[in-house]
Each structure stands twice: as structure tokens, then as C-alpha cells.
């Protein structure tokens, strides 16, 4: 039996469309593909701006190694104002976006958390149907489907790479190093907020949507380099409303605190490398919060190890990178799974809201005027509660995560200091977890009927 959910995704590029192989071959015979894209047909000799960031060892925390204060230089203003926003505004003037996001109504919903509601009918109307699986977090890259090598070079703002000499540099026109596959920042043509961009690590390697240590470290560097608490990065895995199976992060500016950032937390554990792991309290979606670490890579490796663990166990998840990269929220979710099983009410399905990282964080992108007018903290809470794992399943998933983090910490010579007091809160063995997952996660288990979503 094949389960299907009818939904459509956001178009992130003006070139996000299917082409026949014959038409593509004919276009290449004329002159490239006619798009001036990032693929082999057009990339030879191409140049793009290059922002080279300074690779640092110490993380931007108040206290560094051995308790000594770490003084960080002020981030270059040009990265934010002149580069990201300046180049983004240039694309506005060129008419590359599918609608004017600044015309979208936005309001803060009254209540304790201050959920943010946006009426964005443009994202609802400017879409096309494609077929996308939701029961597999890891899926092989398919070059025949849309990917970011097919975007036009005019949609790319700049290359984002580590500086070779250890100093911040900007080159307005730099060759694209095809052999070393640059990481790039491009516009999202269906923006949620002002300055909405995509960070695409090692774009020419055509990596599927799966986090690895290097890619997550690159995202943390971008957050730290921006140095602006209103600039957050987000990640959606497959099965958690990523719509493109080509590795990418999203980012935009929101001059308000996200509700998830205001939620209370409770410390669970500290790793030997100084990373503190807490859990969210009194928030509709259960999740973990990571912060600290003696070095930037400590925090990055801990979170990426947790993400890799979820991927390998076929558990969909979302990530929010906040506070200039100092706080990271990891949120396993099961909304698409519940949809496939018919467990989501028609009332919630009718809103056509896909609860990905931004919605889970509290920025509710609504597509119908009715939902915007009736927006309330209660309604937001009701939707997000459907996203969350049950308490039992959440604890089992945490057991897998802590086991993976412990292995990584041990490999680096660290010793974790557990502060879990309750015996029943201790992670269970892998065998116990596998047994429970087999019984409680039928839609995501290996070997179950294929589950597709029409997006």
C-alpha cells in the first residue's frame, strides 16, 4: 500500500523546474544550458564574489579555555550590510524574487511566548507539484531532479570559504575553483523574511540533504561571522519538510526573539569538551539545546554527531542555529509521519502549514487570511504539539543521541559529566531502544510500505 499526502513545496529558485533530457542536450549544444548555471556546461571560467572568513579555534563565549576571558574582534560590518543585504537588495531590484516579502503582513500573537504570524499568500500560490518521499531521511542525490547546480549564477550572492592566510578578505570577482567545489550563498526566491538566503556547502559535490561535521561547522562559522543575533540559520532534514535533496541551510533576519529562544531549559549533561546539553521545558515541541564548548569545533562536532545519529536511525529533525552560533536547538519531529498515518486533523491539514524549522521556532508562516486573522497562541501551540515526539519516544531518541555523543567525546579524549538525577531518565541500552522503535515507529521503520508525499 502506498500512502500519499497532497502538498506542494516552496520554489527556492527560478530554475526549479523539470526538463526533458532532449531539451537540455539541445540547449547545451547551443551555448551551455542557457541559464548561466553552476553546472559543468556553464561554470568554466565563471567568476563570483568571494567572502573569505577567518578560521578561529576559540569559540565566541565569555570564558575560553582554562577560564580566561576571550576577547573577540568586532565582526566586519561589510559582511552584513554591504554583502548579504546589499547583494540581496540588488536581486530585488533585478526582479528575481517571486513576490515582495516586505508587503506580507506580520504580527506578534498575544501571549506568553509571542509567536510571530506572517500572512504569506505568495508562498501558497507560486508553487508546482513534485513527488517527494517522507519516509527516508537519507536518500541518494538524484541529478535528474532540481538541485542547486541548476540555479542561475545571478541567484548566487557570493562564495563563502575559509581564508587561506587567516584574515578576513573579500574579492568582488573571484574564479570558481571547480576542483575544490566552493560553498556558496544564494537567494531563496520565495523568501520568508528580508535577507532570506541559502548556504550551500561544497555545491559542486552534489551532496544529498544530510549533515556532516564539515558542513555543520561551515554553518556555525557563518552564524559567528555575521555576529548578529537577529540572523539565524535553520536546517530541515528530509522527512521534516526539506523540499530539495541537495545539502543546504537557510538563513534570514528577524528583529524579534523567536519563541523557542525564550523557552526555559533544564540541563541534562555536560560533555568533556565543555558543551552543555539541556532540554526544552514548557514548549510544544520537545527538543535539545546545545551551547558552550572550549572550541568552536567542540560545539559543532557535538551537534553534528547528534544529527548524524538521527539520520542513521531514520528520524526526521530540524535545527535552529541562534545567538550568533552560540545556541543550537535540535528538534526531532514526526508531523509528516502522522500525516501519512492519517493522524493529523483535517482542521490542521487545511491550513497547509508545513511545520519546518521556522514554524517550530515560532515564526508561523500562514497561507490563508482566515488563519492569520484567527491566529492565537493556542492555535500555534496546537499545531506544534502535533510535531513533537511523545515523551516516551523522545526519551528513546535521546538515548541514541547521548550514546553517539559519548562515542564522539571518548574519541576526542573527553569525559562526560552526567547531571541526570532520576534513574528512569537514564538512556536505555541500544537493544531496548531498537525494540521500542520497532513497535512505536511503524511509519519510519525500515521495510514498511513506501510513503510518498506530493509536494
Contacts of 215 (CB under 8 A, 6+ apart): 201, 202, 207, 247, 304
Over pLDDT 70: what percentage of the chain?
76
What count of other Cβ atoms lies within 10 Å of the Cβ of residue 376? 13
Question: Domain holding 163: CATH number?
Answer: 3.30.428.70
Parent domain of 94: 3-454
- The DSSP symbol for 236 reads E
Q: What average pLDDT score do residues 383-410 get?
A: 95
The answer on pLDDT for 269 being more than 90 is yes
Q: Each residue of 39-59: pLDDT tens digit?
A: 989 998 999 999 999 887 655
Lowest mean pLDDT, pick from 8-12, 23-27, 222-226:
23-27
Per-residue model confidence (pLDDT) at position 70? 40
Mean pLDDT of 278-293: 97
**What's the whole-number mean pLDDT along residues 246-260?**
96
Cell of 109: 500573537
pLDDT at 124: 47
* Three-class DSSP category at 199: strand
Listed residue (366, 281, 413, 301) closest to 290, CA to CA: 301
Q: How would you write 273-302 as a 3-class SS string? A: CCEEEEEECCCCCCCEEEEECCEHHHHHHH
Number of domains comprising the chain: 1
Is pLDDT above 90 for 68?
A: no
Can you tell me the mean pLDDT for 259-285? Answer: 97
Please tell me the least confidently modeled range out of 325-329, 361-365, 383-387, 430-434: 430-434
- The model's pLDDT over 185-239, given as tens digits with 9 standing for 90+, comes to 999 999 999 999 999 999 999 999 999 999 999 999 999 888 889 999 999 999 9
Instruction: Kindly report the number of other CB atoms within 10 A of residue 312's CB atom.
Output: 13
- Phi-psi sector, 36: left (phi>0), alpha (psi -120 to 50), beta: left
The answer to whether 197 touches 363, Cβ cutoff 8 Å, is no
Dump pLDDT digits (tens) for 333-343: 999 999 999 99
* CA–CA gap between residue 47 and residue 185 (Å, rounded): 14
Kindly tell me if the per-residue pLDDT of 285 is higher than 90.
yes
pLDDT per residue as tens digits for the range 101-139: 999 999 999 999 999 999 998 554 444 444 456 689 999
* Listed range (23-37, 151-165, 264-278) with the worst mean pLDDT: 23-37
- Three-state DSSP state, 32: coil
Q: For all residues of the chain together, what is the average pLDDT?
A: 82
- Which pLDDT belongs to residue 2? 37
C-alpha cell at 157: 550572492
Mean pLDDT of 407-426: 53
Backbone angles phi, psi at 393, to 5 degrees: -65, -40
CA gap 106, 117 in Å, rounded: 6
- Give me the pLDDT at residue 81, please: 60
Q: 349, 337, 246, 279: which is closest to 16 by C-alpha?
A: 246
In this model, does residue 75 exceed pLDDT 80? no
Using the 8-state DSSP alphabet, how is residue 423 labeled? G
Q: Do the beta carbons of residue 81 and residue 90 sit within 8 Å?
A: no
The Cα 353–Cα 124 span in angstroms is 9
Q: What is the pLDDT of residues 361-370, one digit of tens each?
A: 999 999 999 9
64-73, 163-172, 386-395: which is most confident: 386-395
Catalytic site positions? 248
Amino acid at each position: 500500500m502506498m500512502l500519499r499526502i497532497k502538498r506542494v513545496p516552496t520554489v527556492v529558485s527560478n530554475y526549479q523546474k523539470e526538463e526533458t533530457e532532449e531539451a537540455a542536450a539541445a540547449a547545451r549544444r547551443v551555448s551551455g544550458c542557457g541559464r548561466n548555471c553552476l553546472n559543468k556546461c556553464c561554470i568554466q571560467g565563471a567568476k563570483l564574489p568571494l567572502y573569505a572568513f577567518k578560521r578561529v579555534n576559540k569559540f565566541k563565549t565569555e570564558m575560553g579555555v582554562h577560564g580566561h576571558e576571550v576577547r573577540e574582534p568586532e565582526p566586519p560590518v561589510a559582511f552584513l550590510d554591504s554583502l548579504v543585504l546589499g547583494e540581496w537588495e540588488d536581486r530585488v531590484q533585478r526582479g528575481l524574487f517571486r513576490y515582495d516579502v516586505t508587503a506580507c503582513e506580520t504580527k506578534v500573537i498575544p501571549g506568553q511566548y509571542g509567536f510571530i504570524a506572517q500572512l504569506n499568500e505568495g508562498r501558497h500560490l507560486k508553487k508546482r507539484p513534485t513527488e517527494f518521499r517522507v519516509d527516508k531521511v537519507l536518500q541518494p542525490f538524484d541529478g535528474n531532479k532540481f538541485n542547486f547546480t541548476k540555479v542561475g549564477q545571478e541567484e548566487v550572492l557570493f562564495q563563502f570559504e575559509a581564508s587561506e592566510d587567516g584574515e578576513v578578505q573579500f574579492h568582488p570577482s573571484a574564479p570558481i575553483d571547480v576542483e575544490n567545489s566552493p560553498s556558496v550563498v544564494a537567494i531563496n526566491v520565495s523568501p520568508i523574511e528580508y535577507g532570506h538566503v541559502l548556504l550551500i556547502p561544497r555545491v559542486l559535490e552534489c551532496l544529498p540533504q544530510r549533515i556532516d561535521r564539515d558542513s555543520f561547522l561551515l554553518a556555525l562559522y557563518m552564524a559567528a561571522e555575521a555576529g548578529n543575533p537577529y540572523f539565524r540559520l535553520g536546517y530541515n532534514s528530509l522527512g521534516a519538510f526539506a523540499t530539495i535533496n541537495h545539502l543546504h541551510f537557510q538563513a534570514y533576519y528577524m528583529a524579534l526573539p523567536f519563541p523557542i529562544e525564550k523557552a526555559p531549559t533544564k540541563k541534562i549533561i555536560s560533555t568533556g569538551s565543555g558543551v552543555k546539553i539541556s532540554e526544552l521545558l514548557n514548549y510544544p515541541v520537545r527538543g535539545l539545546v546545545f551551547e558552550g564548548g572550549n572550541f568552536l569545533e567542540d560545539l559543532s562536532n557535538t551537534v553534528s554527531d547528534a544529527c548524524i545519529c538521527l539520520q542513521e536511525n531514520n528520524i526526521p529533525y530540524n535545527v535552529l542555529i541562534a545567538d550568533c552560533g552560540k545556541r543550537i536547538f535540535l528538534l526531532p519531529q514526526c508531523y509528516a509521519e502522522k500525516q501519512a498515518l492519517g493522524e493529523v486533523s483535517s482542521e490542521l491539514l487545511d491550513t497547509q502549514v508545513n511545520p519546518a524549522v521556522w514554524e517550530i521556532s515560532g515564526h508561523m508562516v500562514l497561507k490563508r487570511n482566515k488563519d492569520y486573522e484567527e491566529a492565537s497562541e493556542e492555535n500555534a501551540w496546537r499545531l506544534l504539539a502535533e510535531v513533537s515526539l511523545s515523551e516516551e519516544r523522545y526519551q528513546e531518541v535521546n538515548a541514541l543521541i547521548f550514546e553517539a555523543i559519548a562515542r564522539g567525546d571518548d574519541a576526542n579524549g573527553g569525559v562526560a559529566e552526567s547531571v541526570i538525577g532520576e534513574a528512569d531518565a537514564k538512556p536505555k541500552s541500544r537493544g531496548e531502544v531498537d525494540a521500542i522503535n520497532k513497535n512505536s515507529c511503524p511509519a519510519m521503520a525500515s521495510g514498511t510500505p513506501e510513503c510518498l508525499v506530493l509536494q
